[in-house]
Amino acid sequence: MSVTHFPAGAGSSAVGTPLTKVTMPALAEMKRQGTTIAALTAYDYPTSRLADEAGIDLILVGDSLAMVVLGYENTLSITMDEMLHHTRAVARAVRRAFLVADMPYGSYHASSRDAVRNAVRLIKEAGAQAVKIEGGSSRARLVQRLTDAEIPVVGHIGLTPQSVHSMGGYHVQGRSLEAFDRLLADARALEDAGAIAIVLEGIPRELAATITAQSGVPTIGIGAGPECDGQILVFHDLFNLTFSPTAKFSHQYADGAAFFAGALAQYRDDVATHRFPSDAESYHLPRRVMAELEAAQPRARKA
Ligand code: KIV
């Protein structure tokens, strides 16, 4: 395996981006300054390192991990242990980005005591800087409880995938006036409870713009239009690695599937036709040992 390491004293992340750790106050300042937050999900060491070095401001170990990496049907099955395992890998890679970990379904639903214990694990054992939970006003007390326990919380409203069964599938939310008002109230309740940022997923642009204008904390949109304070995408959507049609809101920046498929087919052919490995890709005995071997077994070596 070929492994390289961060150069000692590496001074920058993306070209021209100083390696200053993104913190909670830095995210708040970005909102104040009108600097858009570029966020992305990531789930493992190499892709997190690439995202971090590209200057992504916030990396989320989303529970979308369940579907895009682990092959589950939805996000409900993923466990705390799986989230911890992947968050640790991401934390080992990330130098600059603000690191958020999703609390998986069931890890904050039974009691606030459970929720605090699980959130602390993601921060203390895995290295997250904040946790994200889904839900609006009904989660406000829990957000307050976690915040009181020194756990920074990112909220998540609109299309909340952990509610797939109660929503009857993955549908855009907030399209009626009542739903518009409810989501506006949800965002306010989360902010009042101490949420440090709010993910707005799958809601009309006009609603996201209103929430963003009224909110004192950054909004981070996915399928919520361009007026949010930040944007987040799922890593595997960006690179066409989901084996399913992309949602309307998503943007494919490169065809990773075609890239990998081409390289894999080439590798398979090279092995089958003995083009790989070449002599240059092989190790050799030292000259002296070769000479000794030749002297000892001239015929065996020729064979
Ligand atoms: O799990 C996830 O990837 C998310 C994003 C869609 C925000 O929650």
Among the atoms of ligand 1, which is closest to the Cα of residue 75?
A: 1
**Sign (positive/negative) of CA torsion 26, 31, 34, 39?**
positive
Residue 98 token pair: 């603000």
d(C-alpha 98, C-alpha 166), whole Å: 31
CA of 41 to the centre of ligand 1 (A): 7
Which residue has the CA at smallest separation from atom 2 of ligand 1? 62
Among the atoms of ligand 1, which is closest to the Cα of residue 220?
A: 7
Catalytic position from the list 53, 82, 134, 201: 201
CA of 7 to the centre of ligand 1 (A): 32
pLDDT given at position 300? 54
Is the bond preceding residue 218 a cis peptide, omega within 30 degrees? no
d(C-alpha 123, C-alpha 83), whole Å: 11
CA of 200 to the centre of ligand 1 (A): 10
Nearest to 115 by CA among 104, 124, 125, 126: 104
8 A C-beta contact, residue 38 and residue 231: yes
Q: Determine the residue of 160, 222, 228 to mutate for testing ligand 1's pocket, defined as the one with the most ligand atoms within 8 A of the Cβ atom.
A: 222
Rounding to the nearest 10 degrees, give the CA dihedral for residues 276, 281, 284, 286: 170
pLDDT given at position 297? 81
Show the domains of the chain with their CATH numbers.
Answer: 24-255 (3.20.20.60), 259-296 (no CATH)
Return per-residue pLDDT of the chain as tens, 303 residues.
444 333 333 334 455 555 899 999 999 999 999 999 999 999 999 999 999 999 999 999 999 999 999 999 999 999 999 999 999 999 999 999 999 999 999 999 999 999 999 999 999 999 999 999 999 999 999 999 999 999 999 999 999 999 999 999 999 999 999 999 999 999 999 999 999 999 999 999 999 999 999 999 999 999 999 999 999 999 999 999 999 998 999 999 999 999 999 999 999 999 999 999 999 999 999 999 999 999 998 665 554
Among the atoms of ligand 1, which is closest to the Cα of residue 63?
A: 1
Ligand 1 pocket by C-beta < 6 Å: which residues?
41, 60, 62-64, 102, 156, 199, 201, 222, 232, 234
Percent of the chain at pLDDT > 70 equals 92
Specify whether 201 is catalytic: yes
d(C-alpha 29, C-alpha 203), whole Å: 25
pLDDT given at position 299? 60
